[in-house]
Amino acid sequence: MSVILPNSPAPSDAVPSYLDWGGVLRPIFGGVLQKLLRLGDRFAIDVNLPPLTTEADGRIWTAMLMLAQRQGAVLSWPQPGLIVGNPGAPAVNGTGQAGSILVLRGFQPGYVVRMGQFFSILHGGRRYLHFAAADGTANAQGLLQLPIGPMLRIRPSDGAVCEFAAPKIEGLLDGNTRDWTLNTALMTGLNVTSSAHA
């Protein structure tokens, strides 16, 4: 089970990445390039934490990272400046969904999802991070048909929770080691790179 990393102290800066698993077909005789789309696009994020006091913030963060090295990590996805508001309790509406449209229920009536707003879907005990590919407004019954990116890699179950209020990325930490700096001022320095893996 993945380790939920602390929200406080929060990272001081982050570098999100979009990992495209498709490719470009290049004709050998100079024809038109074609984009080959494949399932599997996902996200990664590289974060730096501010200097932490070794006791207790640095101690707790380093312990959590060592656990996450083996078990995977869950980290809040930053959306600086976006006022998310109260989305309600959005969930997947119906089984067998696939592709780039997601039918949802449980929103506060009239809630507006903004293009580029992130959310995570909980399915099979894991989180899958997506973003809204267009603006969308929930109707009076709290229903919304939302264009999303990237394409769904799983078929979420009916009622699967969708975290719009506090989206998270879940995955493995890059690399085979965890290291940190310690200095005589009793401060700890850390950075983390995590990729969604499921």
Around Cβ 186, how many Cβ atoms within 10 Å?
11
75-131 pLDDT per residue, tens = 999 999 999 999 999 999 999 999 999 999 999 999 999 999 999 999 999 999 999
Closest CA to 94 of 26, 151, 144, 37: 144
pLDDT at 147: 98
Strands 3-4 and 73-76: parallel
Q: How confident is the model at residue 198 (pLDDT cuts 50, 70, 90)?
A: very low
Q: Is the pTM of this model over 0.85?
A: yes
As a whole number, the mean pLDDT across the chain is: 91
33-53 pLDDT per residue, tens = 988 888 889 999 999 888 888
54-63 pLDDT per residue, tens = 899 989 999 9
CA-CA distances (angstroms) from residue 65 to 4, 44, 151, 192?
Answer: 10, 16, 30, 8
Q: For the residues 134-138, what does the mean pLDDT come to?
A: 98
* Better pLDDT: 188 or 16: 16
Q: For the residues 139-145, what does the mean pLDDT come to?
A: 98
Q: Please tell me the distance from the alpha carbon of residue 39 to that of residue 103, in angstroms, as a whole number.
A: 19
Answer for the pair 180, 189: CB distance below 8 angstroms, yes or no.
yes
What are phi and psi for residue 57, nearest 5 degrees? Answer: -60, -45
Helix (H) or strand (E) holding 68: helix 59-71
